[in-house]
């Protein structure tokens, strides 16, 4: 379902310098790192400003007070922003891309919510343990030599295996295959493609002329991914007996408790594809950034190991049970602080439900507003030196001194990330097992560079590993 372009603000807001006719603010933008560039622009344009590329207007909200206002569910709701709107070309009304008034959003949310509660994590714990074990076996073959590990490639394999097995009983065999699974490659390429949606040329023939090769590749990827998932659904429908009790089974066999309606196969397919991407991209990025931060802050890694060793002695193979993860309070604070500095989703889109004001500025119903989490979570409101890596920011006493509503790495309200508990449990468990097994050595001279392909991820991050 196509929706009109978002409304424009009706009063002047600050905007980047050197705005051009038709092209807008392309001279101030950075297609390779759009969110990071928006955060930089906020440094001199202020807590609320406007930017536009071609005919796409966006109001950027980067101050804590206005950011907190956007969390008011009575006044603001989810806006299906540019990349998410582009994703509808192949995800339709899946959970992340649906408009809030589309029936399938409520149906899928009601059906799937029980599968993502904290208590539901107990059923996924052993799968996570198996997949982390496969990562460690892979790294053991490389540790203590001169070889460094490609961190983000391997954490992506880990998290894709976990969501594939937890969600759909699908094994990618990432750590044993000589070549990447073609399905995984196609999914990754699709989401990299839509990550560039904000810079699409709004003239169809010109966009085809400039990016025709990428457009054609994306069409092939979409056809292939849909074909694979449709085959999985048909096979499961035809042979439901003996199949795992997973997310796919839940979607195929459960009716919405409110409406009594079930999801059709097309929507189930869309949900599967969105979970396979969002369910691994977010967690793999979190783990990669956390490992970089721990390698460059060995005193914090040592403190985490002291906590881990109190549960699993260093001279024995750990056998973590579900309840152990909740005892890893310092490791969990490391995860929280990593997500503060590097929220994998660097912002989320909101829109006014009616004409209103925001930070003293008029904003119109349906207007595209970007809550720039990446900037707000580095604001001085977090205390002295907000750019420093300090997991103790999340001690309860310190957390109570901060304004409410400024830490939202998973979005806000009913449209926040449904898989939050899954991501946090998996990240905490994986970090603890990696720190229990290895000392982390940064590569001399490496400077963190962050890519943006729908989510944030480190570029070229490699670490040396030494078995403990």
Known catalytic residues are 282, 410, 417
Cα–Cα nearest to 46, from 68, 28, 62: 62
Binding site listing for heme: 417
Query: How many other C-beta atoms lie within 10 A of the C-beta of residue 28?
Result: 19
Cα–Cα nearest to 232, from 268, 257, 263, 207: 268
What Rg, from alpha-carbon coordinates, does the chain have? 22
The answer to whether 455 and 281 have CB atoms below 8 angstroms apart is yes
Cα–Cα distances in angstroms (integers) from residue 222 to residues 78, 186, 201, 349, 454, in the given order: 26, 8, 21, 25, 17
The per-residue DSSP string of 325-371 comes to: HTT-HHHHHHHHHHHHHS-SS--EEEEESSSEEETTEEE-TT--EEE
Cα–Cα distances in angstroms (integers) from residue 328 to residues 2, 128, 155, 304, in the given order: 46, 16, 20, 8
The per-residue DSSP string of 63-128 comes to: SHHHHHHTT-TTTEEE---HHHHHHHHHHTT-TTTS-TTSHHHHHHHHHHGGGGSTTTHHHHHHHH
Cα–Cα nearest to 97, from 115, 183, 108: 108
Query: How many other C-beta atoms lie within 10 A of the C-beta of residue 257?
Result: 11
Task: Write phi, then psi, for 328 (nearest 5 degrees).
Answer: -90, 65
Residue 26 CB-half CA count within 13 A: 12
Binding site listing: 417
For residue 451, what are the β-bridge partners? 457
């Amino acid at each position: 379902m196509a929706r009109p372009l978002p409304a424009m603000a009706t009063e002047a807001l600050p905007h980047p310098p050197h705005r051009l006719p038709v092209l807008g603010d392309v001279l101030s933008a950075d297609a390779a790192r759009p969110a990071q560039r928006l955060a930089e622009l906020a440094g001199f344009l202020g807590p609320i400003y406007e930017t536009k590329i071609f005919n796409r207007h966006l109001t950027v909200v980067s101050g804590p007070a206005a950011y907190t206002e956007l969390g008011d569910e009575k006044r603001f709701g989810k806006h299906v922003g540019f990349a998410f709107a582009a994703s509808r070309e192949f995800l339709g009304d899946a959970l992340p891309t649906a408009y809030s008034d589309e029936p399938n959003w409520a149906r899928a949310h009601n059906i799937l919510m029980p599968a993502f509660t904290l208590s539901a994590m107990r059923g996924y714990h052993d799968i996570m343990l198996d997949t982390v074990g496969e990562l460690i076996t892979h790294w053991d073959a490389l540790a203590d030599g001169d070889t460094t590990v490609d961190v983000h490639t391997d954490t992506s394999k880990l998290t894709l295996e976990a969501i594939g097995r937890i969600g759909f009983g699908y094994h990618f065999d990432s750590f044993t295959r000589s070549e990447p699974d073609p399905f995984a490659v196609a999914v990754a390429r699709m989401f990299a493609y839509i990550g560039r949606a904000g810079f699409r040329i709004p003239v169809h023939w010109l966009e085809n002329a400039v990016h025709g090769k990428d457009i054609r590749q994306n069409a092939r990827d979409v056809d292939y991914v849909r074909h694979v998932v449709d085959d999985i659904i048909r096979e499961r429908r035809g042979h439901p007996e003996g199949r795992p009790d997973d997310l796919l089974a839940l979607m195929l066999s459960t009716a919405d408790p409110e409406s009594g309606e079930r999801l059709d196969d097309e929507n189930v397919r869309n949900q599967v594809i969105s979970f396979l991407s969002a369910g691994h991209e977010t967690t793999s990025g979190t783990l990669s950034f956390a490992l970089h931060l721990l390698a460059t802050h060995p005193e914090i890694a040592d403190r985490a190991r002291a906590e881990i060793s109190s549960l699993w002695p260093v001279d024995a193979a750990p056998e973590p049970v579900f309840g152990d993860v909740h005892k890893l309070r310092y490791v969990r604070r490391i995860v929280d602080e990593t997500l503060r500095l590097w929220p994998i989703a660097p912002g989320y889109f909101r829109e006014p439900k009616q004409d209103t004001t925001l930070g003293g500025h008029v904003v119109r119903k349906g207007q595209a507003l970007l809550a720039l989490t990446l900037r707000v979570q580095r604001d001085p409101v977090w205390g002295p030196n907000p750019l420093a890596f300090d997991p103790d920011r999340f001690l309860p006493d310190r957390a109570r001194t901060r304004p409410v509503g400024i830490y939202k790495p998973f979005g806000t309200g009913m449209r926040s990330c449904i898989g939050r508990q899954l991501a946090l449990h998996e990240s905490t468990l994986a970090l603890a097992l990696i720190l229990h097994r290895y000392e982390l050595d940064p590569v001399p001279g490496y400077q963190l560079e962050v890519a943006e392909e729908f989510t944030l991820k480190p570029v070229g991050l490699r670490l040396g590993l030494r078995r403990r």
